[in-house]
């Protein structure tokens, strides 16, 4: 394993081509289904509901034949932060009643509701991250953009720049891996000239110190890249014709309708139990 593979750590926007029923859904259906799921997982309070949601997402991953390890990759980066939050929940949730206290040492105490809150938090975020992982691995970014474009088009009638908004998302998605590649090159260049890039374990301050020298060159090169990309977009006539054409024509079938119906049904179950 090398220390410099930044690209492999970016999970968002990494589409895994496939032919599963989930892959073949209409992009609009995918967007609606995943939006609903994300909302439900965010607002459901009961742990049972969240566990059920997690199971549904795992089933989805299985159905789409996405390796679990790949989907879980996105969890690696926020994990320390999540554990920190979970620990806060664990120790700082006040006891609902005296019987709730499970363990106490001076001012630190763990309560039953604290344990519940911590577990709920972890399950919720795992489910959310897996949902996003599943969504991005079965939805190519062009699918996402075509779908968004179709769903947002009515907004242009009331004067909102929906097309430009979708284009912004597209450029951002394209930029992310580009940024990772640039960071990787800069880090390699610095390491080749003696900067210390040996793996630092744990210590957050050291980690930040290590990243800091990357930021200025990354900023400068990103601005340059953005400028050149804008030129390239101009050169290819962006904005010269409204509305833009589209290579893809979407086809909404009964399968998509059924999938949305099923998703709504499952969401309802998740939020009720």
Partner 1 sequence: MNPQAILQIENVSFSHPVPNGTPVPALHGISLTLREDEFTVLLGANGSGKSTLLRLMNALLLPDSGKVLVNGLDTREPQNLGKIRSLIGMVFQSPEEQIIATSVEEDIAFGPENLGLPSPEIRRRVEGVLHIVGLESERSRPPHLLSAGQMQRLALAGALAMQPRLMLFDEPTTMIDPAGRRMLMEQIHALKSRGVTVVLITHHMDEAAQADRVIVLRGGRLELDGTPRQIFTSAGLDKYGLELPPAEVFEKALRPLIPGLPPHIYTLEMMLEELRGIHPPPGVKTVAPHRSEIPIQSETIIRVEGLGFTYMKDTPMAHRALENTSLQVGQGEAHGLIGATGSGKTTLLQHLNGLLKPQEGIVRVGAFDLNDPGIGVRQLCSLAGLIFQNPEVQFFEQYVGDEIAYGAKQLKLAGNLRERVREAMDSVGLDFETYKDRFTWTLSGGEKRRVALASILSLDPEILLLDEPTAGLDPLTRRAIIRHLQDLHGRGKTLVLSSHRMGDIARVTDHTTVMQNGTSILAGTTGKVFSRGETLLAAGLEPPLSAQAAVILRTNGWPLPEGITCQEELISALRACLGGKP
**Chain positions contacting partner 1, by CB under 8 A:** 1-2, 4-5, 7-8, 13-17, 67, 69-70, 73, 140-142, 145, 170-171, 173-174, 177-178, 181, 185-186, 188-198, 213, 216-217, 221, 225, 228-229, 231-249
248 vs 255, which CB is nearer to partner 1? 248
CA distance 269 to 273: 6
Q: Where are the alpha helices (DSSP H) in 158-199?
A: 162-192
Nearest residue (CB) to partner 1, 142 versus 271: 142
Minimum distance between the CB of residue 102 and partner 1, rounded to whole angstroms?
40
Q: What is the DSSP letter of 101?
A: E
Q: Quick one: 123 or 229, whose CB is closer to partner 1?
A: 229
Compute the least distance from the CB of residue 4 to partner 1, in Å. 7
CB of 75 to partner 1, least distance (A): 15
**Minimal distance in Å, beta carbon 236 to partner 1?**
4
Question: Do the beta carbons of residue 23 and residue 259 sit within 8 Å?
Answer: no
Compare residues 9 and 272 and give the one whose CB is closer to partner 1. Answer: 9
Give me the least distance between CB of 117 and partner 1, in Å please.
Answer: 34
Q: Are 117 and 93 in contact (CB under 8 A)?
A: yes
The answer to whether the beta carbons of residues 30 and 141 sit under 8 Å apart is no
> CA dist 169 to 42, 64, 123, 172, 198, Å?
23, 25, 29, 5, 35
């Amino acid at each position: 394993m090398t220390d410099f593979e930044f690209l492999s750590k970016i999970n968002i926007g990494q589409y895994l081509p496939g032919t599963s029923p989930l892959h073949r859904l209409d992009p609009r259906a995918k967007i609606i289904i995943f939006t609903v799921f994300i909302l439900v997982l965010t607002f459901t309070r009961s742990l049972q509901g969240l566990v059920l949601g997690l199971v549904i997402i795992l089933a989805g991953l299985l159905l789409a034949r996405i390796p679990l390890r790949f989907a879980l990759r996105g969890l690696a980066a926020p994990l320390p932060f999540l554990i920190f939050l979970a620990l806060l929940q664990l120790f700082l949730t006040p006891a609902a009643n005296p019987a709730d206290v499970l363990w106490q040492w001076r001012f630190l105490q763990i309560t039953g509701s604290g344990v519940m809150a911590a577990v709920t938090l972890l399950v919720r975020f795992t489910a959310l991250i897996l949902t996003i992982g599943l969504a991005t691995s079965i939805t190519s970014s062009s699918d996402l953009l075509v779908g968004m474009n179709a769903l947002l088009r009515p907004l242009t009638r009331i004067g909102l720049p929906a097309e430009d908004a979708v284009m912004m998302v597209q450029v951002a998605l394209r930029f992310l891996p580009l940024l990772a590649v640039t960071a990787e090159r800069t880090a390699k260049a610095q390491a080749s000239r003696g900067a210390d890039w040996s793996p630092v374990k744990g210590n957050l301050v050291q980690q930040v110190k290590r990243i800091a020298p990357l930021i200025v060159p990354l900023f400068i090169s990103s601005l340059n890249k953005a400028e050149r990309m804008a030129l390239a977009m101009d050169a290819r006539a962006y904005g010269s014709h409204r509305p833009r054409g589209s290579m893809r024509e979407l086809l909404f079938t009964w399968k998509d309708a059924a999938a949305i119906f099923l998703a709504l049904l499952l969401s309802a179950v998740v939020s009720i139990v």
